[in-house]
Amino acid sequence: MSDIAVILSALSSAMSIAKDLKGFETQIKEASFKLQLADLYSNLADIKVEMADLQQSMISKDDEIRTLKETLEIKGKMVYTDPYYQMENSEGTLEGQYCKVCYDDIGKLMSLESLSPVSWKCGKCNTICTRDDGNRKPFY
Ligand SMILES: [Zn+2]
């Protein structure tokens, strides 16, 4: 159980006790007691709502941290090998061909479709990238 869940549980118990004390209102006629009890119950209810919001916020933050960690882990494995990115696997071997435009612009890994031994196309942004194989003769 998380710390907030423990606090929420303790708060529920405190609210239950406050409710029980409210039952003694009829026996205790003092107005200040009734006023203090009403304030206590109101404050406990406010705290319970705030704690539930805080718990939801922490869950969202945990999700965001997990996503950022995954993104960072992937980023550490990406290697640019002109004209595309490749991902380093656990054995240190580079795998796949990923679009440079999509990864650099939006951080999205888009596999490239092979058009020829030296050219590839991205199915998302339609970028065609080519690798100079070094065997071409220069134009004169
Ligand atoms: Zn692309």
DSSP 6: H
pLDDT at residue 106, as a whole number: 92
Distance 75 CA to ligand 1 centre (A): 17
Distance 76 CA to ligand 1 centre (A): 20
Q: How far apart are CA 140 and CA 137, in angstroms?
A: 9
Enter the pTM of the model. Answer: 0.61
Mean per-residue pLDDT for 71-98?
95
Please write the tens of the pLDDT for every residue from 40-52: 888 888 888 888 8
pLDDT at residue 4, as a whole number: 76
Distance 126 CA to ligand 1 centre (A): 6
Confidence of residue 2 (pLDDT cuts 50, 70, 90): low
CA 117 → CA 57, 95, 114, 129, 130, distances in Å? 50, 16, 7, 11, 9
Q: Higher model confidence: residue 52 or residue 18?
A: 52
Distance 138 CA to ligand 1 centre (A): 29
Distance 102 CA to ligand 1 centre (A): 4
Mean per-residue pLDDT for 9-20?
82
Distance 136 CA to ligand 1 centre (A): 26
Distance 84 CA to ligand 1 centre (A): 10
Distance 104 CA to ligand 1 centre (A): 9
